[in-house]
Amino acid sequence: MPTPRPSPEIDALIRAAAAKHSVPYELLYAQVKQESAFNPIAVSHCGARGLLQIMPATGTKDLGLKEADFFDPEKNLNAGALYLRRQYLGCKRFITALPKNAINECTEDDYWQLALAAYNGGMGYIFKAINILFYDKHPICWENLAPHLSDPREVVRGHDPDEKQMIDYVERIWADYIKSGAMNHAPTGPTA
């Protein structure tokens, strides 16, 4: 099966959204490839829509999208990049706000991997896993956090995370990101 590639127009929109929201272009590119194979009218089995497979509730409530916006490549990419950036900042703020005895070993790469996992499965599960690492006195980083997503203490609002899906999601995107040669050049941009 050939590797999916975006049209020049979609690629330009990915670049613009990445720059606007301080997300590494190569990471956003890999995420769009994973989410929709660059298909702007993709719809998942659970109802996620567009290039970055935004769920309807998240898109309308959190990102201000209207029904038609989910399939507008520019609006979908900007909303998804903004959402990913928010996950990145949320993880970074949460970890840096932990008490001083926390063992924070997160690199910028770790924060982006945590952001991808939060984008896919929900920030609540990531925060819960971070707290488990903290209370169990384990260093906080993606490599240590991923296995803790299956911890029985990981229940959030009565639901267990789909840890395999979250981990596979991050690993597939990260593998494409590494192949791009762009690792360790992630912009940090504004803090809000």
The mean pLDDT value for 35-54 works out to: 97
The answer to whether residue 35 is catalytic is yes
Asked if 109 contacts 81 with a C-beta cutoff of 8 angstroms, the reply is: no
pLDDT digit string, tens, across residues 4-16: 899 999 999 999 9
pLDDT at position 152 is 66
Confidence at residue 61, expressed as pLDDT on a 0 to 100 scale: 96
Task: Report pLDDT digits (tens) over 124-161.
Answer: 889 989 998 999 999 999 999 998 887 766 655 555 65
State the DSSP string of 26-89: HHHHHHHHHHHTT-TT-B-TT--BTTTTB-HHIIIIIT---GGGGG-HHHHHHHHHHHHHHHHH
SS percent in the chain: helix, strand, coil, step 5: 60, 5, 35
In this prediction the pTM is 0.90
Report, as an integer, the average pLDDT of 92-114.
95
**129 vs 76, which has greater pLDDT?**
76
Domains observed in the chain: 8-179 (1.10.530.10)
Residue 92 confidence (pLDDT) above 80: yes
d(CA 36, CA 166): 16
Tokens of 151: 């911890």
Q: Which of 9, 26, 35, 108 is catalytic?
A: 35
> Rounded CA gap, 28 and 17, in Å?
9
